[in-house]
Chain A
């Protein structure tokens, strides 16, 4: 018990929580954006891989770090567009299309990697984002290391929480996206394009998801590995429900998961000799499931989620 308290009081634990949460923040925001418009995007796992791969490769080819971020986002948008076209105007099953996009994006990324680097055993490294060392602020006790020694991408994620919230809650566009996710007829009857809004939301959301992948190769690590996304996309799908499709709660959910994960790593090193490490590895997922069960009972799904909409059919 004293161990846990000590861990919870340490700055490095909180800094690690935020770091682990960062890709999830991108992912949840992206998934939330898609689902608010009525489209479930199970392509998220593959889009993470594609973003990780494309961003890293762009930097490796000399595009610069921010160039890599842009390339990752565009890659995510492209895969999002595939999903959007299949599910919105064509109205195919969102589950099938999403899983298809995940398989496709994952394999295409590995294929591109192997094509570009046929004979490499250890992946080439890039110079990743460095922690922002902001004078004065970084030296603050506790807050300094936790908040102000993160990389620019973590900051981008936090800023995006605010932007997505503002768009959804304070702009006509956000009202329209929420309307097509609840009752597309309401938007159609007021002369808005349901298909346009949904495609736009899925493409934008997918771009956000890809940034989560890019964080992995360009900030958390400095290279692309097979299997490095490791289910983070699926976690985001669950976190969206936990967050009741709200950006603020999405941030809280991502941080909670990040904290579980950071805690389990530290507990492993301290009491790992007594308890099998696999139990600790499981812990964040088990706790997430419990949190999800509690939160999902009250969750109000966007009413039009999973339902294709065609003009002139009511």
Chain B
């Protein structure tokens, strides 16, 4: 960590964050962070969820007012000048462009209008779309970022939307580009292409900060890595000198326990889908002729880019949607009326994708949420009355065992943090020792510690004899945990012949799918 060396290159510095701090209520989200960005550099900002990465960047862009510290940007003459805080307009004018994790695109407008939004004075009556279009096309040629300009953004793919976001910044003459988790929604190939384009642009003098918690891409594509933990900058390393273990330790503050997946002999099928088809509102929300078998003592991983039918698959397995064709079998027996109650009774434990919306009833207490799937059991309710004392004792034991932390088991569940909500759900699911476990994006948005806990519980259930269906957009997670891997694309499943990232990535993009089936 050589701050002295950075000081010497001040003439080359295009951006300086000087002791930025931000407090949200009692939480110090960002604590005195100092960071320099040099011209033509790709700086990775690495940290776990809640480390303060996004808050830091939102202060840089003026979405948040810093409580302390300031942002300095180099003008055309290379001299650093402070940026007025809290004004996105000023950040834009200073040449800072930000691509948010959740795209800030109006879906009812086409790409060109999204790009032009805010760059035209609102009082003018005439627009100059043709001229603007030519300029955007020029930028697309130079940067290699291509997207259809005259189609409503709502109809573009995620990759195209992201390119529109970057084009927006480049159209505003951004010299500093901030990308917040740019690859979260891309296939590995799309991600590589994105970084290639970024590389080309930095050679033209663009400076890039990208936020990530994926070590692989940080090591592959950045020149320098700054690590945040609990709002503080805990390290800054030249990527060439960094190694994975060292960075992971900086991020987490301790070594993460490695995950050991022991070899187990799978047993009889516990969950089978036979020719399941489902027609949804769009092709991406449908399933066509799915055949899938999950056996006891195995984890079947479903990899794929978000929105390729994962939601539909999860809905079928949890009984929320009934397939138009095909059968769902649990323990070899077809489920007659596959609704959520029947699936729970048949022994399916569900870890839903959107844990806040579908996993808990936020207004109900932690204790109530823990028993919500077993209200018919005599331990929970007798003669139509809840056994409050038993429920509480039960919840206290579970909270201890699963380390659910928060304001107590009588507090509304919505007050828990995301990681603790997930632990609550794990406690509820695993407490019933289900034979089938549906885990849909079980570690999304969790920090490394909580994610490791989820992985450990899934492996434990597998060892106990459960069959686990793991749906995840995080390919690394699937590779780590799954015994067999399928790729879902456009509502079709294909088993991956190998465990190679490259091959699976191609299948996720819909290529080589026929050959693999």
Contacts and interface: CB of A to CB of B under 8 A. Distances in A.
12 contacts: A170-B126, A172-B120, A176-B122, A178-B109, A182-B106, A183-B107, A186-B104, A186-B114, A188-B63, A189-B88, A190-B92, A314-B63
* Secondary structure call for the B interface: loop
B119 interface: yes
Contact of B116 (A172, A173, A303): A172
Contacts of A187: 106, 117-118
B8 interface: no
Interface residues of A, number: 25
A247 interface: no
Nearest to A170: B127
A286 interface: no
A303 B92 CA distance: 26
B105 A183 contact: yes
Contact of A191 (B88, B109, B114, B127): B88
B64 interface: yes
A175 B129 CA distance: 12
Contact of A300 (B89, B92, B108): B108
Contacts of A189: 88, 98, 100, 104
A76 B114 CA distance: 32
B76 interface: no
Interface of B: 58, 63-65, 88-89, 92, 98, 100, 102, 104-109, 113-114, 116-127, 168
Contacts of A192: 117-118, 122
Interchain residue pairs A-B with the least CB separation, the first 10: A190-B118, A172-B120, A191-B89, A179-B106, A189-B104, A185-B104, A182-B106, A186-B106, A182-B108, A186-B104
Interface in A175-231: 175-176, 178-179, 181-183, 185-192
B127 A171 contact: yes
Contacts of B119: 190
A312 interface: yes
Given A182-B108, A302-B108, A312-B64, 15 more contacts: A171-B125, A175-B127, A179-B117, A186-B114, A187-B117, A188-B88, A188-B104, A189-B100, A191-B89, A191-B118, A192-B117, A192-B118, A192-B122, A312-B63, A314-B102
B104 A178 contact: no
Nearest to B108: A182
B106 A183 contact: yes
Given A179-B109, A186-B105, A190-B119, A172 B88 contact: no
Contacts of A170: 125-127
Nearest to A180: B106
B132 to A, nearest CB: 11
A173 B121 CA distance: 8
A167 to B, nearest CB: 9
Nearest to B110: A175
A175 B126 CA distance: 12
A182 B109 CA distance: 9
Which of B100, B106, B119, B120: most chain A Cβ within 10 A?
A: B106
A305 to B, nearest CB: 11
B133 to A, nearest CB: 14
Nearest to A179: B106
Interface string A280-294: 000000000000000
B174 to A, nearest CB: 12
Nearest to B122: A173
B94 to A, nearest CB: 12
B294 to A, nearest CB: 37
Given A186-B105, A312-B63, A175 B100 contact: no
Contacts of B123: 173
